[in-house]
Amino acid sequence: MAHPLDSLIDQIVANAARKGDFDNLPGAGKPLPPVENAQDAVLSRIMREAEATSPVVVLRHQILAAQKRLKGLTDADGRKALMLEISALQTKLAIEMEAFRKYG
Domain range annotation of the chain? 55-103
C-alpha closest to that of 69 among 82, 81, 56: 82
Question: How many helices, marked H, and strands, marked E, lie in the chain?
Answer: 4, 0
Q: What is d(CA 94, CA 90) in angstroms, rounded to the nearest whole number?
A: 6
pLDDT band at 19 (very low <50, low <70, confident <90, very high): very high
Query: E strands along 3-104, which residues?
Result: none
Residues making up the chain, counted from first to last = 104
What integer is the mean pLDDT of 3-32? 86
**pLDDT tens readout for residues 26-74:** 888 888 777 777 777 777 778 888 888 888 889 999 999 999 999 999 9
- The pLDDT of residue 3 is above 80: no
- The pTM of the full predicted model, rounded to 2 decimals, is 0.55
